Structure 1
């Protein structure tokens, strides 16, 4: 791997391994989504994730990372990220976010999606739509010659123009042979700082976390689960994206 300003640039072989890692993640998220419905305990999704990792011959990327105890981050309603699977039962009208990663031949895959549980409110549906749209607009800016903050600006402008909030405390990241590599990818433009130039070979995990109300965050007593301070809804979508000479390639796109 080459380096540019502390950022690892991946070659075609390395991007191929990242593509396969993320294909597996996308497949697992597909299966999890098929089982989202009222009455299901969130621990059920952890069991599915563990079983699929064994079937694919991969290791869960999150389990044991800085002490995180599960393979799956499962965040419901006001939970933004890093929620624990548990005996909690999904209810009609909830929204649930799954953030999932694997390690395949030493390379990491990482992706997240938010799902509706049954029929959700118009506000919840719009929150999910805007979050997903902001991710895709950010990805469109992941091109050689652009700045990192072109991604951030695209996300922030779309979210805030629709009346929602952008979480500041958690950001996206580079990804490769480590889960979190440089650069950090905020979903907002930090004032007064120059953005890193984007180069072919960068692989970025872009992940807007969007709120109905305030973007302020509390972390619960488990020291992991992040919730909105005002306890209003939050949604989270993430793709791992390679910057190629032909533009951005979404590695974690569902087949």
Structure 2
């Protein structure tokens, strides 16, 4: 999506704040013994009270209001009977629609007690996201995002999952510009345009390089390959001449 008006921006900011609030409230509610279905219900309530609809349900008939992925699951986890345990690594991904516009955000949370390496991974996952966001500016190459995140990961001895990319968002959940790499991609020649809207969502890991689906009946959940602790932090951003305008900040 490319913004056409101030009204578009106001509506995008509104749904962005709603998504951010859902992630914040859900993250604060995490505790050992609760199920991922119970956590999802908390997110659903935030969305519904704000007059928003779950984007995965609306767009793809996903079986949950939010995506909740635990440990070996790194994306598109289905909320259900899984009970959260001490030490679990939980990713919450919230996307929603209101008044015709969509936003998408997410974060990873470690359930105490937290291993030092996982605590560091979470900290650096947030840093990796902002390393990418700081490359956003009108006229700059989209490749700059992945190049910067890739350099950060290499310097700090992490891997990146390289088949889960960022994407355009706005009038639908996934749209142009499609498949924006959060890792170095020599084939990327596109440039950022004023008002362009997309996500940035690197998957930073202690060893995983790929996301793979299950061989069972679940067509949604993706798992790290090789199995390794992996975090994802995500924002929806608008390209401006002055840099990134992040619309999915809580508050």
8 A contact 1:139–1:206 mirrored in 2: yes
Which residue does the alignment assign to 1:233?
229
The answer on 1:242 being equivalent to 2:238 is yes
Structure 1 residues 78 and 247, CA gap change in structure 2 (3 angstroms)? same
**Matches for 1:1-255 after TM superposition, within 5 Å:** 8-183=2-177, 184-191=179-186, 193-220=187-214, 221=216, 222-255=218-251
Decide which moves more: 196-205 or 10-19: 10-19
Runs of 5+ consecutive residues of structure 1 not aligned to the other structure: 1-6
Question: What is the number of residues matched between the two proteins?
Answer: 248
Spell out, residue by residue over 1:81-112, the C-alpha distance to the aligned partner (whole angstroms, 9 max, x if none). Answer: 10111111111111100000110100001100
CA distance, structure 2, for counterparts of residue 194 and residue 33 of structure 1: 34
1:26-45 deviation digits (Å, cap 9, x = unpaired): 11111101111212111111
Range 63-72 or range 240-249, more displaced: 63-72
Three-state SS of the structure 1 residue aligned to 2:47 is: helix
Alpha-carbon distance in 1 for matches of 2:155, 2:203: 15
Return 5+ residue gaps in structure 2 as ranges: none
Alpha-carbon distance in 1 for matches of 2:22, 2:244: 23
TM-score, normalised via structure 1 length: 0.93
CA contact (8 A) 1:37 1:117 kept: yes
1:224 to partner: Cα distance: 1.0
* 1:178 Cα offset (Å): 0.8
Which stretch of structure 1 is more off in the superposition, 225-234 or 107-116? Answer: 225-234
TM-score using structure 2 length? 0.94
Over residues 150-190 of structure 1, what are the superposed CA-to-partner deviations in whole Å (9 max), with x where a residue is unaligned?
A: 11111111122211111111100111111111112111122
Say if 2:33 and 2:84, in contact at 8 Å, map to a contact too.
Answer: yes
**Partner deviation per Cα, 1:48-102 (whole Å, 9 max, x = no partner):** 1222222111111111533321111001112111011111111111110000011
